[in-house]
Amino acid sequence: MLIKIAKPSDLRESDVTPESVYLSRRRFMGGMAGLGAGLALSGRAKASADYSDVPDGDAPAWLQAKLGAARPRAIVPDDPEKDAIAPFGDASGYNNFYEFGTGKSDPARHADGLETQPWSVVIDGEVNNGGRFNLEDFASPSHFEERIYRLRCVEAWSMVIPWLGISLADVIKRAEPTSKARYVRFETLVDPEQMPGQRSSFSLIDWPYVEGLRLDEAMQPLTLLALGMYGRELPNQNGAPLRLVVPWKYGFKSIKSIVRISLVEEQPVNSWQRIAPEEYGFYANVNPEVDHPRWSQATERRLPNSLFNPNTLDTRMFNGYADEVAELYAGMDLRKHF
């Protein structure tokens, strides 16, 4: 007998959209498409009107059109009050991107000159359909969505950010992995001319920055390849033109400015694990019960905060995405595989 236990994320009859709403959605989409085209012509690509204070980017026309046509708010936090979107200036002015320096404002200061057009991505390794693709050919076959995710940094701060992008699973399916493919390995651009952090002789990172996912993690529908945020394309300092976003893992897993995606047999050694294996593991799942050797992971400072309110929240298992991803790690000792 087949016993089917509904997962919390399974759809129910009541979730089915009534036809009238569906049809009006089509009308809405038609309107949006026209609006999108209009916005594209005026040099804007905003997925929703909420980002009126966000400065315009300089995306190529194809990307503006894709971003403009993205399904708005496809995934949103369950408590939008508590998980309020961080101001664009904070999300784009305060982050880690060691290729541009180790200070939180270094990326915004030094990433301006990064040349992201043209950009190509190599897909190689255990795939039947690999090769070097220009960004448009790489991304435009996929459906674009806006997803609002919590981003939890391993340094115990977090922000809520509206990304625009495509599902990594979609890209991997198109590449047709062979039966040997078990992991996905990602590489960031190496270009010391454009990336001052890569010129530092005191850097502990062995460039290129490398990250990896298990194939099932990469295929998890939440895993996003972002090309935009806040209704526009990614600012350079946030990993333009293509970055990973894995919302249930610490931020350093979400590798930026990707130039290579390889399907591989062996578990890749990610950059932070290489520097300090006792501090950073391969999985790096957000876990309030497993502390970093130098600080607690039980809580996080939700940014922006203010002087007398550090805005400290309890960190949630898998950053609050346990319903979707916990089953990936069933039976694993997460203290060992941190």
Partner 1 sequence: MTAQRKWQLWRTGVFLAALAPLVLWSGQVASNAAGPEPGRYLLLNIGLGGLWMLLLTLSLTPLTKLTRWKGFALIRRQLGLWTLAYASLHLLSYALFILGLDWAMLGSELIERPYILVGLLALIGLVALGATSNRWSMRRLGKRWKPLHKLSYPILGLILLHFFWGVRADLGEWTLYATASALIMATRLPPVARRLPRLRQRLISA
Q: Which of 73, 104, 182, 316 binds partner 1 (CB under 8 A)?
A: 104
Q: Which residue has the tokens 């270094």?
A: 106
To partner 1, the closest distance from the beta carbon of 163 in angstroms equals 18
Task: Name the packing angle between helices 19-41 and 61-68 (round to 10°).
Answer: 150
Q: Is the dihedral of CA 95, 100, 106, 107 positive or negative?
A: negative
What's the one-letter identity of residue 222? L
Touching partner 1, residues 171-230 (CB under 8 A): 197, 200-205
Q: Is 17 in the site for partner 1 (CB under 8 A)?
A: no
Count of residues in contact with partner 1, rule CB under 8 A: 39
What are the C-alpha distances in Å from 4 to residues 7, 50, 206?
Answer: 9, 41, 48
Q: Return the residue of 20, 128, 179, 309 that touches partner 1, per CB under 8 A.
A: 309
Q: How far is the CB of 39 from partner 1 (least distance, A)?
A: 28
**Applying CB under 8 A, does 18 fall inside the site for partner 1?**
no
283 is in an annotated binding site: no
| Binds partner 1 (CB under 8 A): choice among 58, 112, 265, 291 | 291
- With binding defined as CB under 8 A, does residue 50 bind partner 1? no
Cα 44 to Cα 30, 36, 200, distances in angstroms: 18, 9, 37
Choices 15-23, 65-73, 165-173, 291-299; region in contact with partner 1 by CB under 8 A: 291-299
Per DSSP, the three-state class of 259 is strand
Minimum gap (Å) between residue 271 Cβ and partner 1: 9
Tokens of 153: 């940094």
Nearest of 71, 65, 72, 33 to residue 51 by alpha carbon: 72
Does 290 engage in binding with partner 1 (CB under 8 A)? no
Q: How far apart are CA 152 and CA 145, in angstroms?
A: 21
Amino acid symbol at 297 = Q
Positions that interact with partner 1 (CB under 8 A): 86-87, 90, 93-94, 98, 101-102, 104-105, 155, 157, 159, 197, 200-205, 275, 291-296, 298-299, 301, 303-310, 312
